Amino acid sequence: FSVLNNTYSVKINIHMMWKVPSNILQRRVASSAWSRVAGASCSGTYQLPTTSVASSSQSNANSSSIFYNNGTPQFTSMHTMRHTSTTTANNENISEVGDGYLGKILNAKVYEVAIETELQHAENLSQLLNNTILLKREDTQPVFSFKIRGAYNKMASLPKSSLDRGVVACSAGNHAQGVALSARMLGCRAVICMPLATPSIKVNAVRDHGGEFVEVRLVGNSYDDAAAEAKRCQIEEGLEMIHPFDDEHVIAGQGTMAIEILKKCVSQPVDAIFVCCGGGGMLAGIAAYVKQVRPAVKIYGVEAADAAGMTASLAAGKVVTLPSVGLFADGAAVKTVGTETFRLCEKYVDGMVTVDTDQICNAIKLAYNDARVILEPAGALGVAGLKKHIEENNISGKTFVAITSGANMDFNRLRVVSER
């Protein structure tokens, strides 16, 4: 299946069931809109922008397209499209629908370093909760966390002049590892600012992933303290800030998880997805994609009860700053959520769930029973929120997805987890 215009060509492999009238075949598309969905893995029903169609006389034997007569293609059955190769002539988005995030997510440059992770059926957890539970195994990424997606997508989008100057990031650990690995792959200098309370396994991993390209600076007791130092580096040293969540490229990178989830669930229903929330980048990205592709799927954010910044902000109708945050789920310990992530979450997220330390510890154990992996506290938030939601609402017979977002567990915390 090929789409051609005067400046470039696109190859697309199509694997789907698609009801298309025969009279709309053998057409040529004179727009880049189709190239922009070449990487899509979509389910449900959504509509692309109006696109001009060249006359049938321009068609040739080696080119065929599926297109509606009115110039507006529409997906009307669940399907999957897998990207093979694409070279675009410009950087326009598919459309402005959903703030343009559909296009940003579909074009995110994550697979040069990230992997498409497994959507694992959690048999024991499913039996315990009397529902079908699927775990999106982001703990199996090269840095054992989803953060590599957003970090690399942001850095890969920077001009060479910015990469030559270097980048700076503040992180509780997982974003830092993503930036460090991205810096090494792109060959640029990176300064990583981390809170003093960051587990040693994460600090050492940052140094290992980044090698000679990375300088680690331990500053303050919270993410916000580290953020202040990173801001100073940005201003005084001219480094490019790689924000861990409040950036459209980072949000889009995290949103690629939603593409993979819906692609794997073409032949089965998904009732809700439970997503860890710290600053809100992953939650915003997943929600922005899912609600445009399969809007019936519910999206729930999950926060630690002592670090529930998004919950408080959504309740107040504006971004609020928490006076303090608990550090047990250090990967999601953020006092102030992002402005852009809040805007997207307010628009797309169906609800928030808060869980306490005991519930997080229980979720770590439950995930271990199925996945044989020890999730870090923040990485188990999705499982903890899913379990709480099911039990409080007495739900059975549904299909739920939980993101297991990270496994950079500090060994010294295992005793605390087992005792709780």
Give pLDDT tens digits for 286-343. 999 999 999 999 999 999 999 999 999 999 999 999 999 998 998 898 899 999 999 9
The pair of three-digit structure tokens given for residue 64, joined into one six-digit string: 């065929």
pLDDT of residue 61: 36
pLDDT of residue 92: 41
pLDDT of residue 58: 37
pLDDT of residue 331: 85
Q: DSSP letters along 42-59, please? A: --S-EEPPP--EE-GGG-
Nearest by Cα to 359 from 279, 297, 420, 403:
420
Q: Examine the pLDDT at 1 and tell me if it is beyond 60.
A: no
Q: Examine the pLDDT at 78 and tell me if it is beyond 90.
A: no
Q: What is the DSSP letter of 267?
A: T
pLDDT of residue 173: 80
Helix (H) or strand (E) holding 290: helix 281-293
Give pLDDT tens digits for 359-404. 999 999 999 999 999 999 999 999 999 999 999 999 999 999 999 9
Active site residues: 147, 405
Q: Which amino acid is at 419?
A: E
CB 336 within 8 A of CB 322: yes
pLDDT of residue 197: 79
Strand-strand pairing, 28-29 and 53-54: antiparallel
Whole-number Å distance between alpha carbons of 358 and 178 = 29
What pLDDT band is residue 416 in, cutting at 50, 70 and 90? confident
What pLDDT band is residue 409 in, cutting at 50, 70 and 90? confident
pLDDT of residue 406: 94
Q: Which residue has the higher pLDDT, 27 or 405?
A: 405
pLDDT of residue 69: 33
Q: Examine the pLDDT at 176 and tell me if it is beyond 70.
A: yes
Task: Please report the sign of the dihedral spanned by the C-alpha atoms of residue 221, residue 356, residue 133, residue 349.
Answer: negative
Q: Examine the pLDDT at 79 and tell me if it is beyond 60.
A: no
Whole-number Å distance between alpha carbons of 351 and 335 = 19
pLDDT of residue 46: 35
Whole-number Å distance between alpha carbons of 20 and 357 = 52
Any idea which of 151-155, 345-349, 405-409 has the lowest mean pLDDT? Answer: 405-409
Give pLDDT tens digits for 85-95. 333 333 343 43
Any idea which of 62-71, 99-108, 187-196 has the lowest mean pLDDT? Answer: 62-71
